[in-house]
Structure 1
């Protein structure tokens, strides 16, 4: 309400575009990283780890920016780009998202080192779940080493991803404080 008792004017087009852009940025960035990693010049094994890092970070520090339908879409995109059994990435990312949301109050108050260690556990659990789903859905035992490499790459990439996403998150908070 304005000081005169009148309702605030409706936000203009630029304000609405800004709000929509900030809301869509986390999911769009994760999808872009996944697509760039899947290109021939990229590193396809790094894609799922980067996506997991983005989903984990945004689920802990800005859960409204990473809703479950967006996580579902990212998991489906990951499965399609990796030629994995459909549902493997979806289930893995949704479970990681749910666990991060569940423990977010605890995680958001911890130091970076503690959050990183917990993410490493998430990455290992996601790798084990992905391996189990691949065995069950593919009806054949496959080597476990690619999954362990993927978990290691995700754990190793998290500090860099978190540093960039922290700056983005702080910028979004500053922009919201000005509005």
Structure 2
């Protein structure tokens, strides 16, 4: 009986490669869209302090469940975009998001298998640490004490909206997994 001959993998066509590239970029593109959506001026008083920080939720979720789809370069780009839209000192958000990315990567093997409630609790703690460090960095750069209320409002909204962000991200992750 003849042994089966191993066939070389069939080369992927242009459209297949383009489709795979679009799937790989979907989490980063969605994060950019969410950041842009929260950056749209609505004419609300103190709007900057009343907006959630979707970049924190997106970096946390995708780094936890599909880290290959949220590489450090994407995290950095989202951070720079966030800085530009919020008029933050350039470099603060990329630093904060990269630190969050690194923190989640170190714990993802344990955390990814936990209940949603625990994942949400850890998100709340990491979001508090991220926004708290951002507040401290802004104080250091301004060389004066800044009010904490905007950071606290951002934290409350971001943590409260994490289940909605997570629901959206899970739907996208499932569609990517089903198609790939």
Regarding TM over 0.5, the answer is yes
- Greater displacement, 48-57 / 58-67: 48-57
2:164 matched to which residue of 1?
160
CA shift for structure 1 position 153: 0.8
1:119 matched to which residue of 2?
123
Structure 1 contact 33–51 (Cα < 8 Å) conserved: yes
The alignment partner of 2:90 has SS state of: coil
In the aligned structure 1, how far is the partner of 2:172 from the partner of 2:131? 27
In the aligned structure 2, how far is the partner of 1:116 from the partner of 1:31? 22
The answer as to 2:154 corresponding to 1:150 is yes
Of structures 1 and 2, the larger Rg is shown by 2
Structure 2 contact 79–95 (Cα < 8 Å) conserved: yes
In the TM superposition, structure 1's runs of 4+ consecutive aligned residues that sit over 2 Å from their partners are 3-6, 41-48
Q: Which runs of structure 2 are paired with 1:8-157 in the superposition (5 Å)?
A: 8-41=9-42, 44-45=48-49, 49-157=53-161
In the aligned structure 2, how far is the partner of 1:56 from the partner of 1:50? 10
In the aligned structure 1, how far is the partner of 2:50 from the partner of 2:171? 22
The answer as to 2:174 corresponding to 1:170 is yes
Structure 1 contact 49–123 (Cα < 8 Å) conserved: no
CA shift for structure 1 position 87: 1.4
In the aligned structure 2, how far is the partner of 1:41 from the partner of 1:29? 21
TM-score (normalised: structure 1): 0.92
In the aligned structure 2, how far is the partner of 1:81 from the partner of 1:143? 20
**CA shift digits 1:29-56 (9 cap, x unpaired):** 1011101111123964466621100000
Q: Report the count of equivalent residues.
A: 174
Gaps spanning 5+ residues in structure 2: where?
none
The alignment partner of 1:103 has SS state of: helix
Indicate the structure whose relative CO is greater, using CA pairs within 8 Å and at least 6 residues apart.
Answer: 2
Gaps spanning 5+ residues in structure 1: where?
none
